[in-house]
Structure 1
Amino acid sequence: MQKPKLKFWDIWNMSFGFLGIQFGFALQGSTMSRIFETLGAEKDSIPFLWIAAPLAGLIVQPIIGYLSDNTWHKKLGRRRPFFLLGAILSSIALLWMPYSSEVWMAAGLLLILDASINISMEPFRALVADKLPDSQRSYGFVVQTLIIGVGTWIASNLPKFVNNTLNISNEAAPGVVPASVKVAFAIGALVFITSILVTIFTTKEYSPEEMKAFGEESAEQEEKKGMIATILSTYALMPTVMKKLGVVQFFSWFAFFAMWTLANPALTEHIYNAGKPDIHEFAQLDQSGEPALDAQNLILFKNNQSQAEYKKLDKAYNEASDDVGSKMGIYGLSSMIFALLLTFYTAYYSINRKYVHMGSLILGGLGFLLMFYIPGNPDYLLISFSLIGIAWGSILSMPYAMLSSSVDSNKMGLMMGVFNMFICIPQILAAVGGVVFLHKLIGNESIHAMTIAGIFLILAGLSNFLITNKKAITYQPSIDNA
């Protein structure tokens, strides 16, 4: 018995929760480094402060994948219990994040936020494979990417929108996150929980009996192994196509981690000439060399002129950061348009996933490389992030479509969770010093991190030559898994 094909709105509704997930990720990606800088973190330490995010994914996703494969709730089904749990925890973390008063608090909340987002996100990938026949999976993942693009664009623009349209200030005392960012995160929390609920209430999952009729029942022998044994055996018996896609993923996610962690300091300095001012240059210092505080726990400036100069430079930094976040949103808009075109095309025709992915990644790499050559010209970032968006749209759809057509459907959730190691490991390596070490081989300026991102994304594109599995490259019912 074959799974029935679903209509566009059915696929849209079952993927709509990704809007909220991406609100969380986009606010994190466009604003987290700004929060760290505001709280006093040094630029070179920012990638390490992000390490909680990939560590959470590395640990949480395989576990959630296994649990969601082996869960059936009478009302919520197989994947939806995890959508709901992740949404509740993520919304709480989003509300608290901008109220962090110390760097360690923000880093701890980032761990909670990313772990919570992963609880919701991983089952969404598996749900596409659960609900759709093989012939619609590229279509399904592309629709998912379309929604992700919408979320990225809107969420990245939220701090600027809140400041310019709602007239909520983007200025604050030294070491305090501006009110505009706090409101943006609160909106993100509301969108997260609401969009997840839309998917929960509009999407019916196939029951275990229906999955059995489709020939996709869970194997009892696999269940008896237990969670840890099953996860470890899946790592050991990883399909060849997953390993090859892992090489592509490694270079891709290293590049994007460099962007998320260092784009704000790199672009505010190189493009806007408005880096974060160092409070130590303007404040009175105590015996330990830290800014001195008055009785109200406020920073004591050297004089009124120093205070005015700091406020002027900090205002320029916050405005530049708002604009960097807004420009980063372009990659979400671009990925949305790219996904929309793929959605219409893949609804009727097969595509060569390998070459689509290769070309998209190379274009994104060129977008990163362009950034070095446009100092003082923020408008050219529209071109850079448009090209990066094409790569992003492909990263969020093509690898998963290739993988889902090439692995055991009985363990799709676990496979998607294990595949996540190729997302997390490169980010961990980048966080512990990889991206800073590599960009300093070129120069001390943070903009060189974007150059490294461009080089790695081009290498990711070329790595697609490793993919030779015919069923992974282009789905055709007559072609067996090679």
Structure 2
Amino acid sequence: MTGREKPRQNWAGLFNISFGFFGIQIGFVLQNSNMSRIFQTLGASMDDLPVLWIAAPLTGLIVQPIIGYLSDRTWNVLGRRRPYFLTGAVFAALSLFLMPLAPTFAAPLVFAALLLWVLDASLNISMEPFRAFVGDMLDRSQHATGYAVQTAFIGAGAVAAAIFPWLLEQFGVSNVAATGEIPETVRWSFWAGAVALFAAIGWTVLTTQEYSPEQLAEFEAEREVQDSAGVAALAQKGYVGPLAWIAAGGGVALLVAPLGLEKEIYLLGGLLATYGVLSAIGIMLAKQGKSANMLSSIVGDFSGMPETMKRLALVQFFSWSALFIMWIYSGPIVSQYFFGSADPTTAAYNEGANWWNLIYTIQNGVAAIAALALLPVLARRFGKAMTHTICLMLGAAGFLGFFVLRDPNLLIVCEVLKGIAWASILAMPYAILASSLPQAKLGIYMGLFNVFIVVPQLLVATVMGSIMKAFFPTEPIWTMAFAAGTLVVAALAMLRVRVPADNPA
């Protein structure tokens, strides 16, 4: 049976579907660019920061598959995905509002750390269904354009959140504060961000009307699948795989002390072992015939991912490894190699840090423009898969520029190239995935796909420090060469991805 096509959305419809992501990205950028500053203001040492920050990747790893699973099975007065948009928006806005007030609470550092967990979980609750929402609302012929519009709002939100504190300072709002207090620029940025986030997501909730389950079944009849298929396949599996994961986790943990690895490696071992335990429980429940349980469904769908998704997951893994290397190391590298100082107390170091903030804003601006003006054109000309391959190679060239150049002004060219790659990373894999997956499981598959964003973050955070300590202890510039190499690997992996009818966008 062949499903009928969904009605095409005009630009107003595309705007309404994705505008909420503008607010979500404001929340993420305010979190990413200010939380270390807030933690240190409240008394955290530099060594405390990785432990405090671990909330972000762990929350995404846990929340996104669960929300994907639940949103596939939800239908109420607000629809399928919109209840999660609104729930996440309420708690994220509340967290943003309370965060600058942390110094007024007892145990302010603990309060801020707990709020970070709530904030990141809330942002993930809103964000994950947005990926599936585009696939729900658009016909396959509009997927590339739909995810490009979403990417444009991601870039615009990042620019708005990054530039707002600077604008406040230009208007005389204080950027410094007494010991233990949050600067006024940060306070007002968080409060304005709370309003913008809630308003943007509220706009999407109010201006869109989701298709009913019956309508979706008509649209996607030829790709509907048995909901219990993943659990049935899981019931046929043995326990060798889970035991191997548990053994691998234990082995990694046991190597930390003898090899002198960073203590964060214990987290990596713990995650491997935890996945093994959860897999074993999921298999046991499936063998007992308990098909209607979340754990078996998630584990079953993860182990039984469609072939296109498996190949894209490898591309995502290497792409996001490069991005997390960039976010961790780019600022210090610009200061050390382009402005001549690795000492955070010097004027040269801070000049370099300011320059990095500026050119990173340029990267996000380029991503917003490229998403609308370049990606749909390339996708129509070359197809989604080849477009993504081209953009990843441009990103690799941008990273390599950091390694070979020494004029800070030329870094703008590097950021333009990386901005194009960033736009494609946020758009093309999701457009390909949405066109290749059954509608009935779009939420859970999108949630599982995002695991390959979180795992590289955890891996880079736990392993990269040990690699640098062992091979390049005083030369962080090598991380840029490493990032360029991982994007090349991602581009090569992309050549293995086949997209049915990969022509019109």
- For Structure 1 versus Structure 2, the TM-score category normalised by the shorter chain is 0.7 to 0.9
Contact 2:228–2:297 (8 Å) recurs in 1: no
CA positional deviation for 1:344: 5.3
1:404 matched to 2:406: no
1:260 aligns with 2:327: yes
1:55 paired with 2:91, answer no
Aligned partners of 1:163 and 1:169 also within 8 Å = yes
Once residues 227 and 404 of structure 2 are traced to their aligned partners in structure 1, the CA distance between those partners, rounded to angstroms, is 58
Post-superposition offset of 1:475: 4.9
Q: CA deviation at 1:138?
A: 1.1
Cα drift, residue 265 of structure 1: 3.9
- Residue in 1 aligned with 2:250? none
Q: How big is the shift at 1:316? A: 7.6
1:271-290, aligned counterparts within 5 Å? Answer: 271-272=338-339, 277=344
For the pair 1:12 / 2:26, whether they are aligned, the reply is no
Match of 1:83 among 82, 85, 92: 85
Alignment partner of 1:357 is 2:359: no
Could you tell me which residue of structure 2 aligns to residue 368 of structure 1? 399
Match of 2:184 among 179, 183, 195: 179
Distance 2:74 2:376 in 1: 34
Aligned 1:210-289 pairs, distance under 5 A: 210-215=215-220, 221=228, 225-272=292-339, 277=344
State the partner residue of 1:379.
Answer: 409
Match of 1:288 in 2: none
Instruction: Give yes or no for contact 1:48–1:431 (8 Å, CA) kept in 2.
Output: no
Partner-residue secondary structure (3-state), 1:466: coil
C-alpha change, 1:54 and 1:397, in structure 2 (3 Å) is same
Deviation at 1:456, TM superposition (A): 2.2
Q: Does 1:332 align with 2:364?
A: yes
Q: Does the CA contact (< 8 Å) of 1:155 and 1:329 recur in 2? A: no
Q: Structure 1 residue aligned with 2:499, among 467, 470, 479?
A: 470
- How far apart are the structure 1 equivalents of 2:84 and 2:60? 15
Matched residue type, 1:244: R
Q: CA offset at residue 176 of structure 1?
A: 4.7
State the distance in 1 between where 2:363 and 2:440 align: 35
Q: Give yes or no for contact 1:143–1:343 (8 Å, CA) kept in 2.
A: no
Distance 1:431 1:463 in 2: 23
Cα–Cα, structure 1 residues 120 and 241, in superposed 2: closer, same or farther, change >3 Å?
same
1:167-226 deviations in Å (ceiling 9; x for gaps)? 212223456543222222222211111100110111110012222332457856579623
Aligned length: 435
Given that 1:30 and 1:328 are in contact with CA atoms closer than 8 Å, whether structure 2 keeps it comes out as: no
Distance, in Å, in 2 between the alignment partners of 1:327 and 1:46 is: 25
**Residues 149 and 333 in structure 1, CA contact (< 8 A), matched pair in contact too:** yes
Q: How much has 1:103 moved relative to structure 2?
A: 6.0
Query: 1:368 touches 1:388 (CA, 8 Å); kept in 2?
Result: yes
In 2, distance between residues paired with 1:42 and 1:363?
38
- In structure 2, the CA distance between the partners of 1:241 and 1:212, relative to structure 1 (3 Å rule), is closer
- Give the corresponding residue for 1:439: 468
The equivalent of 2:279 in structure 1 is none
Paired residues of 1:163 and 1:170 also in contact (CA < 8 A): yes
Among 378, 400, 414, which residue is 2:444 paired with?
A: 414
Query: 1: CA distance between counterparts of 2:333 and 2:45?
Result: 13
- Paired residue type of 1:361: L
Structure 2 length-normalised TM: 0.78
- Percent identity between the aligned chains? 43
CA change 1:51–1:392 in 2 (3 A) is: same
**Segment of structure 1 superposing worse, 60-69 or 334-343:** 334-343
1:138 matched residue in structure 2: 144
Query: Is the CA contact 2:378–2:387 (under 8 Å) kept in the aligned structure 1?
Result: no
The 3 A distance-change label for structure 1 pair 174 and 112 is: same
Q: Secondary structure at the match of 2:172?
A: coil
1:392–1:343 Cα change, 3 Å: closer
Which deviations, in whole Å up to 9, do the C-alpha atoms of 1:359-409 show, x marking residues without a partner?
A: 21222222223234555x543332222221111100111111111122222
- Give the structure 1 partner of residue 67 of structure 2: 64
- Note closer, same or farther for the CA distance 1:374–1:162 as it changes in structure 2 (3 Å cut): farther
Listed as ranges, the gaps of 5+ residues in structure 1 are 279-312, 478-482
TM-score, scaled relative to structure 1:
0.81
Match of 2:162? 156
Amino acid of the structure 2 residue aligned with 1:406: S
Query: Distance in 1 between the 2:68 and 2:148 partners?
Result: 21
Q: Distance in 2 between matches of 1:38 and 1:371?
A: 31
Superposition deviation, residue 71 in structure 1: 0.6
- The 1:221/1:449 distance shift into structure 2, 3 A limit, reads closer
Identify which of 201, 208, 225 aligns with 2:206: 201
TM superposition shift of 1:79: 0.6
How far residue 257 of structure 1 moved from its aligned partner, in angstroms, is 1.7
Equivalent-residue separation in structure 1 for 2:459 and 2:217 (angstroms): 41
Contact 1:50–1:431 under 8 Å retained in 2: no
Per-residue CA deviations over 1:282-308 (Å, capped at 9, x if unaligned) read: xxxxxxxxxxxxxxxxxxxxxxxxxxx
* Counterpart AA for 2:302: Y
Unaligned 5+ segments in structure 2 are 232-290
> Aligned partners of 1:173 and 1:273: how far apart in 2?
30
